[in-house]
């Protein structure tokens, strides 16, 4: 018997409170299994049949929607069979029982890479995914947003084609149904590619929700139930959208970063809550499509993860593009007007203000997804913040044979970090001594223009009292950037004067997403400015800004 969350009037989601039972406990009709916090107050969820707790499918503190499965109550236990071990014996007879060298929970860029790498190294691998292979990145994150970014860039290029001597007659329009259809085609092709790689590498893929029974056993609830025993386990469940406590988030015109990717109705105006990576990427997507855009950011500047001068440059570029930026602003509530428009109330140091728009996009961020894992049964510990799974540099948790990788660790929420962590974790499972090194992790923001950074940035180096030299070069001194009509932005390199090595780099400008790989290679291998200045860069390319910035660390750039 599956116990589900009933519909609660007045709210879309509720929060799981105190869970009163554990796997193996006997329950009777009417026993309180859990307290759930709803918009109408606390509500007890009770057993609807006699039996024993087979699986717990929710986590304390997690957000749940109506019809979410909470508990699996087994009704057929014979008298006296109430212990957890007896329950497992019964469960095994009712499920497909599997054993595997490595069990991976989650099929995103961490999980599926770990699976392929482990299989190529001779391990038998089982991967469990509750949704679609590819995880957030491939289905509702990196790839879909970049498909929209490209479509919006094409629209922007068409609108500015006359600068290049190309005349386009008539009004340029955006067919959002085709934009979304193209995005889905790309996503589906890549998902099918991962599915092919799973088959090619003889990886057993199971669809369903994985829940720990104990530290060696995981139950999977899907179209078929499984009981899986594994020598080693990797948790790679990724992240979920964070939900701020803002009244009005359930209104029909409110989007999040997932629903926005399937929205075929292009608004005339939109208010974006959050000026971080997701918020600013969508700000330029919508603006390039001709939408009137407001960005409301709680902090005193947008993109707080980059240096101040990078943030300020992007702020100026955004405002020149007619994106309205409101920093130091807190959203108080979202309401619907009499004509169904969105009314956003926010406050800053000057008091309360209103913005009226067709739609609202909430882009606050993401948090580790632990829903349904029953992690307490594995004895795996969370980090000191209680947000994400605690791991060491080998990606091992406090339980020797259980590892965690990717967003669920809440270290760095980047797909390529998850993939690298996957290889580190598998290497350690194979008996190799491997540690994760975060000193040269590239990060890209796909705004217009792009932003990319790697290593230690200037602000952090200064805050830590490091003896540094900064080399800079503007894209307006780069011939290729001028031919592209993209002269805005600059590159800067950070040199540690003690070691003479390049320890960081930031780029805002054309091709930043590609150029950052060269800087990553240089920083990861401890290059000095001399090694860069003595390297020949092809002309005319945007990569020449790297050479010029390195020269600026010494005698000075030649072309500015």
Residues belonging to the active site: 539
Three-state secondary structure call for residue 514: helix
pLDDT > 90? residue 513 = yes
pLDDT at 326: 98
Confidence of residue 355 (pLDDT cuts 50, 70, 90): very high
The answer to whether 250 touches 244, Cβ cutoff 8 Å, is no
Helix, strand, or coil here: 25?
coil
Q: What is the largest CA-CA distance in the chain?
A: 86
* Residue 489: DSSP 8-state: -
The pLDDT of residue 37 is: 84
Give 9's pLDDT tier (boundaries 50, 70, 90). Answer: low
- Strands (E) in 152-299, as ranges, are 204-207, 209-212, 217-221, 226-235, 239-241, 254-256, 269-273, 292-296
Task: Report how far residue 437's alpha carbon sits from residue 411's, in angstroms, rounded to the nearest whole number.
Answer: 12
What integer is the mean pLDDT of 347-373? 96
d(CA 558, CA 560): 6
pLDDT value at 317 more than 60: yes
pLDDT tops 80 at residue 25: no
Cα dihedral across residues 391, 396, 401, 406: positive or negative: positive
Pairing between strand 32-38 and 2-4? Answer: unpaired
What are the φ and ψ backbone dihedral angles of 102, each rounded to 5 degrees?
-135, 125
Give me the percent of the chain exceeding a pLDDT of 70: 95
Give the separation between CA 557 and CA 307, rounded to whole angstroms.
21
Say if residue 85's pLDDT is above 80.
Answer: no
Q: What is the pLDDT of residues 233-274, one digit of tens each?
A: 999 999 999 989 999 999 999 999 999 999 999 999 999 999
Average pLDDT over residues 186-193: 95
Q: Is the pLDDT of residue 205 over 60?
A: yes
- pLDDT value of position 109: 97
Q: Which helix (H) or strand (E) segment is 184 a member of?
A: helix 176-200
What's the pLDDT at 79? 33
Beta strands at 450-455 and 324-326: parallel, antiparallel or unpaired? unpaired
The arithmetic mean of pLDDT across residues 428-444, rounded, is 97
Res 371: pLDDT: 92
Residue with tokens 């991976």: 104
Residue 473: strand pairing partners: 491
Q: Which two tokens stand for residue 429?
A: 């499972």
Q: Are 417 and 489 in contact (CB under 8 A)?
A: no
pLDDT of 5 above 80 = yes
Q: Where are the beta strands (DSSP E) in 31-189?
A: 32-38, 41-46, 51-56, 63-64, 69-74, 96-105, 125-129
pLDDT digits (tens, 9 = 90+) for 519-553: 999 999 999 999 999 999 999 999 999 999 999 99
Mean pLDDT over each residue of the chain, to the nearest integer = 92
Alpha carbon distance 260, 198 (integer Å)? 30
Angle at 189 between CA 155 and CA 233, to 5 degrees: 120
Provide the pLDDT for residue 99: 94
Distance CA(428)–CA(444), nearest Å, equals 29
For the cut 80, the answer to whether the pLDDT of residue 81 exceeds it is no
Query: What's the pLDDT score for residue 49?
Result: 79
pLDDT of 301 strictly over 50: yes
Angle at which helices 277-288 and 308-320 pack, to 10 degrees?
A: 20
Residue with tokens 């030299």: 469
Q: How far apart are CA 422 and CA 131, in angstroms?
A: 20
């Amino acid at each position: 018997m599956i116990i589900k969350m009933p519909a609660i009037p007045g709210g879309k989601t509720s929060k799981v409170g105190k869970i009163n039972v554990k796997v193996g406990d006997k329950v009777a009709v009417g026993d309180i299994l859990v307290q759930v916090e709803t918009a109408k107050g606390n509500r007890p969820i009770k057993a609807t049949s006699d039996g024993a707790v087979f699986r717990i499918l929710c986590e304390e503190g997690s957000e749940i929607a109506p019809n979410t499965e909470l508990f699996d109550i087994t009704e057929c236990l014979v008298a006296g069979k109430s212990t957890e071990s007896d329950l497992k014996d019964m469960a095994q007879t009712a499920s497909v029982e599997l054993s595997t060298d490595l069990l991976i929970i989650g099929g995103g860029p961490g999980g599926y890479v770990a699976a392929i790498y482990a299989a190529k190294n001779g391990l038998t691998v089982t991967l469990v995914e509750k949704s679609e292979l590819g995880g957030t990145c491939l289905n509702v994150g990196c790839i879909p947003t970049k498909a929209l970014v490209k479509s919006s860039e094409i629209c922007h290029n068409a609108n500015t084609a006359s600068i290049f001597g190309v005349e386009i007659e008539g009004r340029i329009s955006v067919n959002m149904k085709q934009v979304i259809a193209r995005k889905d085609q790309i996503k589906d092709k890549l998902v099918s590619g991962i599915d092919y790689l799973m088959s090619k590498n003889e990886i057993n893929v199971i669809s369903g929700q994985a829940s720990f029974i104990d530290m060696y056993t995981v139950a999977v609830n899907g179209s078929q139930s499984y009981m899986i025993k594994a020598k080693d386990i990797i948790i790679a469940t990724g992240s979920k959208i964070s939900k701020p406590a803002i009244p009005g988030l359930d209104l029909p015109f409110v989007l999040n970063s997932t629903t926005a990717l399937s929205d075929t109705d292009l608004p005339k105006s939109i208010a974006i809550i959050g000026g971080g990576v997701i918020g600013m990427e969508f700000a330029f997507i919508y603006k390039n499509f001709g939408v009137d855009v407001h960005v409301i950011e709680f902090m005193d500047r947008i993109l707080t993860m980059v240096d101040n001068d990078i943030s300020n440059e992007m702020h100026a570029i955004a405002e020149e593009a007619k994106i309205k930026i409101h920093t130091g602003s807190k959203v108080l509530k979202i309401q619907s007007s009499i004509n169904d428009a969105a009314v956003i109330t926010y406050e800053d140091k000057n008091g309360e203000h209103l913005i009226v728009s067709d739609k609202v996009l909430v882009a606050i961020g993401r948090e580790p997804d632990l829903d349904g894992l029953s992690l307490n049964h594995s004895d795996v510990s969370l980090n000191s913040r209680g947000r994400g799974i605690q791991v060491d540099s080998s990606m091992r948790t406090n339980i020797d044979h259980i590892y965690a990788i990717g967003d669920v660790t809440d270290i760095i929420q980047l797909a390529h970090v998850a993939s690298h962590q996957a290889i580190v974790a598998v290497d350690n499972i194979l008996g190799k001594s491997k540690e994760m090194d975060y000193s040269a992790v590239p990060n890209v923001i796909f705004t217009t223009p792009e932003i990319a950074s790697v290593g230690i940035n200037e602000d952090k180096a200064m805050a830590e009292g490091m003896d540094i030299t900064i080399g800079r070069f503007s894209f307006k001194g780069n011939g290729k950037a001028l031919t592209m009509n993209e002269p805005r932005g600059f590159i800067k390199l950070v040199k540690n004067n003690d070691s003479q090595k390049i320890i960081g780099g930031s780029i805002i400008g054309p091709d930043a997403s590609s150029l950052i790989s060269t800087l990553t290679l240089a920083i990861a291998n401890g290059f000095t400015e001399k090694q860069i200045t003595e390297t020949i860069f092809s002309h005319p390319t945007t990569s020449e800004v790297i050479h010029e910035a390195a020269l600026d660390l010494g005698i000075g750039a030649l072309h500015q």
